[in-house]
Amino acid sequence: MEKNKKGQSQIVSTVLLILLVIATVVIVMGFVIPFVKDKLASGACLDVAGKIEISSGYTCYDVGDSEMQVQIGIEDIRELIDGFTIELGGASSESFRIENNTQVTDVNMFNGNPILELPPKDNTGRTYVISNIFDEPDFIEVYPILKGGKVCGGTSPVTSIEVC
């Protein structure tokens, strides 16, 4: 009789160990799957990384008019983005959300048109004039906005800003 009890305790222990392993896997997967899905969703940011650039030749600060001119060019990602955010950083940072066919306070196209246009995908660029900038920014950075509203990481900041 005692031999049978010993055999049953080993079976119960094995079943309990299997259940413990299954429970652990379920708990871990509850954290891993959402984490991986989130990282895969941010993969679209990799598609636009490095494809928006600030042209330093036409980007400058006009002290007399308190205006900042920023020329932005994009490569073949126009269909992936809704727009971008221009950040003028320094002692007081300001951000301006640029989307196609919209108006933004204190931002006009270089030709004076208040209706903003995104640059074409041929990378010819568009120049945006931002008014009421009373201090020269320390840097300019651009953040792409994907379709659906997700904002990606910024471009390499431009730190040498010429005077117009």
Domain assignment of residue 56, yes or no? yes
Domain assignment of residue 46, yes or no? no
The answer to whether the beta carbons of residues 117 and 124 sit under 8 Å apart is no
pLDDT of residue 116: 93
Domain assignment of residue 79, yes or no? yes
Confidence of residue 140 (pLDDT cuts 50, 70, 90): very high
Same domain flag for 69 and 141: yes
Same domain flag for 86 and 145: yes
* Segments forming the whole domain that contains residue 13: 2-41
- The 3-state secondary structure of the chain reads CHHHHHHHHHHHHHHHHHHHHHHHHHHHHHHHHHHHHHHHHCHHHHHHCCCEEEEEEEEEEECCCCEEEEEEEECCCHHHEEEEEEEEECCCCEEEEEECCECECCEEECCCCCCECCCCCCCCCEEEEECCCCCCCCEEEEEEEECCCCECCCCCCECCCEEC
Same domain flag for 83 and 130: yes
Confidence of residue 43 (pLDDT cuts 50, 70, 90): low
pLDDT of residue 5: 58
Q: What is the pLDDT of residues 78-103, one digit of tens each?
A: 888 889 999 998 878 899 999 989 99
Q: What is the pLDDT of residues 6-15, one digit of tens each?
A: 667 788 888 9
Question: Could you tell me the pTM of the whole model?
Answer: 0.71
Q: What is the pLDDT of residues 142-161, one digit of tens each?
A: 999 988 888 888 888 888 88
Domain assignment of residue 83, yes or no? yes
The answer to whether the beta carbons of residues 140 and 158 sit under 8 Å apart is yes
Number of domains in the chain: 2
Give me the residue label for tokens 């954290």.
31
